[in-house]
Amino acid sequence: MHMADALLSPTVGATMWAASMAVTAGCARHLRRRRDDRLVPLMGVLGAFVFTAQMINFAIPGTGSSGHLGGGLLLAILLGPAAAFLVITSVLAIQALFFMDGGLLALGCNIFNLGFLPAFVAYPLLYRPLAGHTCHGGRAALAAVLAAIIGLQLGALSVVLETTCSGISALPYRAMLLLMQPIHLAIGTVEGLATAALVGFLAQARPEALLTIPANTPATPFTRPLRPVLLGLLLAAALLGGLVSWLASVRPDGLEWSIAKLTGHEELPSPANRTHVQAAHLQQQTALLPDYNFPAAPPAPATATPPATATTPATPPPDAPASQTGTSVAGLLGGVLSLALAGLTGLVLQIRTRKKRC
């Protein structure tokens, strides 16, 4: 589910960076207060473990993303949400830097999708109330599977929204949704089962490694009050219902989807999107480059491109640069020339530095 830089507009990338960094700062402050000596090595080693587990990944065709176990929920169960978020952030940063798995500008998006959603949405709202205070047994396993599925569904939805908002890929978001959501249903199930198995194993073999559980609470799974469980189920149902009804309501036909595709992202009701808008607002207030031109994000509504099956329109869209032949020839010439110049400069510099070394 790692997004690449090439499909992201700077507006979306910077917005998600701002949001993720804000959460990072909050988590860091929280952990500094928590001062637990077991935490540092455990965070490091679990990060390395998840990092290793994430290497087993498989490409999802047509989305520019790859599917693998996220590990966010596992970390949240073992370490608590704040530490889990920081661990996922570090995992994603190393992946982006060393393995080109997800871009640097897309790091903010990836941290949000794979870190924030499982650690701060799926874990506290679904897993905790559903699992109660136990970490093994059927109830905890069910909670893990459910939380993993919902967490990944939200993550996949967020990937689709971020890609569509960027407007670089021509993939319509309905197609992308239909591609992403079912695949991540399967991945979520696998992830949930793996999480449940590992947590159950750790809880039995090394209970002191689970930092989210107070050390000496006796495991009494059957005396727990039913209310938090019901509340959790209700929330899960509401989330699922919201997701499904939203999927159903996006019934695109012809022009409608193309207009929605180009203009109406802000109106889509979803939790991830509200964060988007808020973060965008925040970013506008703290914009580093206020008058810098970022035309890639929202093209003019008049340039609605028809769906693939329709006949091509007579007028080219205004954001196509090659409408005047003169401009395009000069652009081509200049582009190729600058390419050659860049290469030549590199070559000359390389020869010079080599000579110096000899």
Partner 1 sequence: MSLATHYYEIGRMDELARADSPIHRLDARAQILTVAIFLVVVMSFPRYETFALMPLLLFPCVLLALAGLPTGYLLRKVALAAPFAICVGLCNPLLDRTPIGQIGSFTLIGGWVSFASILLRFLLTVLAALILIACTGIHRLCAGLEQLGLPRILAVQILFLYRYFFVIGAEGARMLRGVAMRSTGDQPPPWRLYATLAGNLLLRSIDRAQRIYRGMLARGFDGEVRLLRPATFGWREALFVAGWSLYFLAVRQGDLALRLGRALE
Q: Which of residues 211-270 bind partner 1 (CB under 8 A)?
A: none
C-alpha–C-alpha distance, residues 87 and 46, integer Å:
8
| Minimum gap (Å) between residue 250 Cβ and partner 1 | 17
Query: Residue from 20, 23, 51, 164 that binds partner 1 (CB under 8 A)?
Result: 51
Query: Residue from 22, 36, 55, 264 that binds partner 1 (CB under 8 A)?
Result: 55
Residue 274 within binding range of partner 1, rule CB under 8 A:
no
| Minimum gap (Å) between residue 300 Cβ and partner 1 | 12
Query: Residue from 97, 186, 219, 238 that binds partner 1 (CB under 8 A)?
Result: 97
Residue 190 within binding range of partner 1, rule CB under 8 A:
no
Which span sits near partner 1 by CB under 8 A: 142-150, 153-161, 232-240, 308-316?
308-316
| Residue nearer to partner 1 on the CB measure, 172 or 271 | 172
Which span sits near partner 1 by CB under 8 A: 99-107, 116-124, 222-230, 268-276?
99-107
| Minimum gap (Å) between residue 245 Cβ and partner 1 | 27
| Residue nearer to partner 1 on the CB measure, 248 or 314 | 314
x/- letters, 142..181, toward partner 1 (CB under 8 A): -------------------------xxxxxx---------
| Residue nearer to partner 1 on the CB measure, 6 or 230 | 6
x/- letters, 312..341, toward partner 1 (CB under 8 A): xx--xx-xxxxx-x-xxxxxxxxxxxxx-x
| Residue nearer to partner 1 on the CB measure, 182 or 269 | 182
Cα–Cα distance list, 58 to 5, 54, 66, 287, 299 (Å): 19, 10, 6, 37, 33
3-state helix/strand/coil string of the chain: CCCCHHHCCHHHHHHHHHHHHHHHHHHHHHHHHHCCCCHHHHHHHHHHHHHHHHCCCEEECCCCEEECCCCHHHHHHHHCHHHHHHHHHHHHHHHHHHCCCCCCCCHHHHHHHHHHHHHHHHHHHHHHHHHCCCCCCHHHHHHHHHHHHHHHHHHHHHHHHHHHHHCCCCCCHHHHHHHHHHHHHHHHHHHHHHHHHHHHHHHHHCHHHCCCCCCCCCCCHHHCCCHHHHHHHHHHHHHHHHHHHHHHHCCCCCHHHHHHHHCHHHHCCCHHHHHHHHHHHHHHHCCCCCCCCCCCCCCCHHHCCCCCCCCCCCCCCCCCHHHCHHHHHHHHHHHHHHHHHHHHHHHHHHHHHHHHHC
Q: Which of residues 68-87 bind partner 1 (CB under 8 A)?
A: 86-87
Residue 35 within binding range of partner 1, rule CB under 8 A:
no
C-alpha–C-alpha distance, residues 118 and 105, integer Å:
21
Which span sits near partner 1 by CB under 8 A: 50-58, 123-131, 212-220, 236-244?
50-58
Which span sits near partner 1 by CB under 8 A: 88-96, 137-145, 225-233, 246-254?
88-96
| Minimum gap (Å) between residue 302 Cβ and partner 1 | 13
Quickly tell me which residue has 């999802």 as its tokens. Answer: 60
| Minimum gap (Å) between residue 225 Cβ and partner 1 | 32
